[in-house]
Chain A
Amino acid sequence: MATVGNARRSSYLAYSVPVLSVLAALLLGAIMLVLLDASPVEGVRAMFDGAFGSGDALISTALKATPLLLVGVGITIAFRANVINIGGEGQMVAGGLLSTALALALGDALPAILMVPLVLLAGIVGGAIWGAIPGALKAYYGVNEILSTIMLNIVAVQLMNYLLRGPMIDPGEIERGTRIPQTQRLPEAADLPLILGNDRLHIGPLIAVLAAIFAYILLWRTPLGYRVRAVGQNPDASRYAGIPVKRTVVLALTMSGAMAGLAGAILVFGSESHRMVTDGSTAGFTGSAGFNGIVAALFGGLHPVWTIPASFLFGGLLVGGNALQRAVQVPSALILALNGLVVIFVVSTDRYKRLLRDRASAAETAARLAELEEANSVSVAAGANGSDPPDRAEPPPEGTGAAEGRDE
């Protein structure tokens, strides 16, 4: 039946909008390669091989995807409460610093079985603190969380520079006079355990996937998650329903920061040098995962589980970017620019996606009605095109369009 086909087509179209956005960005990337005198075919092949072409490449991609996934899941949690967390960078740094400080303080006192959970927990706590501050400032003082999280990114990077150049620096760096801002080799007991008999793949990616599933259960299967989403959809109604709105906002940003903090700890204890290192900028430690995680979360429709494949894809893009640089001498900064385009395209087409989805459900309703009426032998073909969406839930009042993403 044509009308059912209509509904289905609109529905497919709605889901394909973010995919088309990414394809459009990649197409622009290929055009840029041409403009930069590099062969796009060779470039794309190098990227694909570098990211997904071999077991080793897949491991690199999984490791690169880990912080993206954790930050992305954190952003998803905040977004569901209608809070925008741009502070992933700072929260990662805070988690990395606190877990590193703990590992330095404990030294070789504890066995790995205690040490690994402890340092990861310290990372979670560090990030949670860095998320709770803007949460409290928003809830109790009305401070815009976008600005406060960005400012806290700046504070965190300076704190990192201070600590890694001063109190936490490797004593060897001072003796040698090289003064690279990095810690000494952290206690071996805190190294993230390797898995699958590989010498690079550690438990980080596994932890990140579990965290994403945990976030899904938390958001959709617990009362707390229900409150978070209720506050995000309609704070006023939530307040009338007796939900502590302010506390929920603080909690959402705290959990969001905790995820990023965990990513920071994994970066430190899963690094090949097993030190915390910086180059004086946030990106020197995080590799801009705090921002790239936003891209992954958006592409994952701000849903924790969909963020898993999305992170893997964007992790692959970043790893592939390095291969691109080696193969056709195009700086991997291209990938950062493309990520920016993906963000722009996804959020710019978000309304269109929702329009299509509304139209899909309208067409479906119309089709069902038509079937019913046909059963009553009254032929009503008109209106089955369903250009008129029926009353659906209003978008959230604060205009968090993207937060409407995929429910369920």
Chain B
Amino acid sequence: MSDFFTEAVLIATVAGAIRLAVPLLLAALGETFGQRSGVLNLGVDGIMLLGAFSGYYTVLKTGNVWYGLLAGIGIGVILGLASSLISVTLLAEQGISGIGVYLFGLGMSDLLFQRLVGTPVPISKFPKIDIPGLSDIPWLGGMFFSHSVVVYLAFLAVPAAMFVINRTTFGMNIRAVGENPEAADSLGVSVSRVRWATVTIGGTFAGAAGAALAIDLGIFQQNLTNAQGFIAIALVYFGAWRPLGVMAGALLYGFVNSLVLQFKTLGIIPQSWSDIAAMAPAIITILALVIVARRFRAPSALTKPFTRGT
């Protein structure tokens, strides 16, 4: 255990927690938009997987990590638009249609990977950027200020999402549509347009999250996300539909995962323990869901498709 309390390991653990939180944070922030407007998009994991594959494949072919990230974002936009069509315009049952998107993404990313790549080849990762001055601070510098640009951008997206949801007209429309679509509609807010926008934002973030994950790991494999997209959806509940809460949840997840990883590498806990420890996040989430369900109220129109004049 004493191996753990060294400067290098502690810094690596916290830095790892932040790094591992990024895909979850991105996907969950995007999902927050959809859920605040009343749409539960369960397809996040499928979009992440396709975003991850397209990001990986683009970097493999071009060698440029930024093209990879853009490819992930592009796939996210397309699948976000498709998800909007399914849940907003065609009014599909949201608890099921998202599972369809998930299965499609899971199968399709695997199919493309086997067909186009075959054996996994490592790709280049995002370069680390040391923030001048701040990264030299002992301990804290290594923990917080020596990450890739994607990490900084993901955390900057939190205040941006807060601003959009709480301080802009668009954000007010999102909240109105999520709480009382009939009233919003009668005041001239287009419910479907707002929801198309939020679900597409969610898809975009999910695509980016997938690409960020694949390029951060430098690899792709079947089911790379390992249900992280579903965890991201749960994190939105965990964070009570608020970006700050979502960020706290993502960091908690990242921290637990990073801790387990460090313990495993240092041999503090045997493999069998780490299987048990891997249950912890899901169990914590279930407990958090209980607490959130008691204390907070979900957007009233969540999972309810809206049609005019019914």
- B69-103 CB contacts (< 8 Å) to partner A: 86, 90-93, 95-97, 99-103
1/0 per residue B6-37: CB within 8 Å of A?
00000000000000000000000000000000
Residues of A within 8 A of B115 (CB): 36, 330-331
Q: A143-B293, A150-B227 are in contact. Are A344 and B104 (CB under 8 A)?
A: yes
Complex Cα–Cα for A158 and B278 (A): 7
Q: Looking at the complex, which of B127-135, B171-179, B229-237 is the stretch in contact with chain A?
A: B229-237
- Asked whether B107 is an interface residue with its Cβ less than 8 Å from the other chain, the reply is yes
A155 touches B282 (CB 8 A): yes
- Asked whether B143 is an interface residue with its Cβ less than 8 Å from the other chain, the reply is no
B103 touches A336 (CB 8 A): yes
Complex Cα–Cα for A342 and B102 (A): 12
1/0 per residue B238-280: CB within 8 Å of A?
0000000000000000000000000000000001100110110
A336 CB → nearest B CB, Å? 3
B95, B223, B293: the one contacting A281 at CB < 8 Å is B223
Complex Cα–Cα for A336 and B275 (A): 27
- Asked whether A358 is an interface residue with its Cβ less than 8 Å from the other chain, the reply is no
- Asked whether A165 is an interface residue with its Cβ less than 8 Å from the other chain, the reply is yes
Residues of A within 8 A of B227 (CB): 150, 153-154
- Asked whether A91 is an interface residue with its Cβ less than 8 Å from the other chain, the reply is no
Beta-carbon nearest neighbor of A298 in chain B: B96
Residues of A within 8 A of B278 (CB): 158, 161
Residues of A within 8 A of B40 (CB): 146
Name the residue among A36, A152, A344, A398 with the largest chain B CB count within 10 angstroms. Answer: A344
A154, A161, A341: the one contacting B104 at CB < 8 Å is A341
Residues of B within 8 A of A271 (CB): none
- Asked whether B110 is an interface residue with its Cβ less than 8 Å from the other chain, the reply is yes
Residues of A within 8 A of B100 (CB): 340-344, 347
Beta-carbon nearest neighbor of A291 in chain B: B103
- Asked whether B148 is an interface residue with its Cβ less than 8 Å from the other chain, the reply is no
Beta-carbon nearest neighbor of A141 in chain B: B290
Q: A334-B107, A337-B108, A351-B90 are in contact. Are A144 and B279 (CB under 8 A)?
A: no
Residues of A within 8 A of B298 (CB): 144
Q: Looking at the complex, which of A217-225, A241-249, A399-407 is the stretch in contact with chain B?
A: A399-407
- A297-354 CB contacts (< 8 Å) to partner B: 298, 330-331, 333-344, 347-351
Complex Cα–Cα for A94 and B291 (A): 25
B107 touches A158 (CB 8 A): no
- A224-277 CB contacts (< 8 Å) to partner B: none
Beta-carbon nearest neighbor of A161 in chain B: B275
A to B CB contacts below 8 Å, 9 in the list: A150-B234, A154-B279, A155-B283, A333-B114, A336-B106, A340-B105, A340-B107, A343-B103, A399-B305
Binding site for A on B (CB under 8 A): 40, 42, 46, 86, 90-93, 95-97, 99-108, 110-111, 114-115, 222-223, 226-227, 230-231, 233-234, 237, 271-272, 275-276, 278-279, 281-283, 285-286, 289-290, 293-294, 298, 303-305
Closest CB pairs A-B (n = 3): A336-B107, A340-B104, A343-B100
